[in-house]
Amino acid sequence: MTFLALVRHGETNWNLHGRLQGSSDIPLNDTGRAQAREAGYELEFRTWDHLVSSPLIRAAETADIIGAHLGLTRTAEFPDLAERHFGDAEGFTDWDAYSHWPDGRYPGLEPRSNLIVRGVRGVDDIAARYPDSAVIAVAHGGVIRAIFDAIRRRHSPRILNAGVSTLEHDGSRWTVRTINGVPV
C-alpha cells in the first residue's frame, strides 16, 4: 500500500492578493514559509520514505522546508502535479478575469478534464514508483482538488495553503482519508 500526503504549497503574494497563479512560477512569501514549517509539524505523525513535489518553485520550496524539518530530501518532481494553466488570465484577480471573460473561458485555459486526467496520472505515477511507501507530495490546490473530485466522484472542499490531505493506494485504487486534515 502507498500512503500519500498531498500538501498544498504555502501562501504566495499572488495568493494574498487573490491573483490567479496557475503555471506562473511565483515564490512563497514569509507567511507561506511559516505555513510550510507548520505542515512539517503536522507531518510528524509518521515516518516518511519519500518527498516529491510539483516543479513550480512555490511547491518545491514548501517541500524543501518540510523536508528540512523531517530530515528528508526532495527526490523527484512530477510535472503532472503542476497547477492548472489559466492562460491569459494568469496574474489577474478573479474580478479582473471576470470583467474580461465573464463566461470564464480564458484564452489558453487548460480544460478541467485535462487537469483531472493529469492529476490522477501524477498520483498513479507516484504509487507505481514508490509502492509500499509513505510519500509526501507537495502540489497545488486546483490539481489536488481535481484529484480528490475524481477519486471521490463528488465535489471536494477548497484546499488550504499548506493543507495536509491523505490518501492510500491499495494496489488497484485510491481512497481519500483526509482533506485539510479532516477525515472524510
Catalytic residues: 9, 83
Q: Tell me how far apart the alpha carbons of residues 9 and 104 are, in angstroms, rounded to a whole number.
A: 25
CB 36 within 8 A of CB 167: no
Q: Tell me how far apart the alpha carbons of residues 72 and 65 are, in angstroms, rounded to a whole number.
A: 10
Q: Three-state SS for 19?
A: strand
Cα distances from 72 to residues 48, 54, 136, 140, in angstroms, run: 8, 16, 10, 20
Cα distances from 108 to residues 26, 88, 112, 143, 157, in angstroms, run: 19, 6, 12, 17, 26
CB 79 within 8 A of CB 58: no
CB 81 within 8 A of CB 53: yes
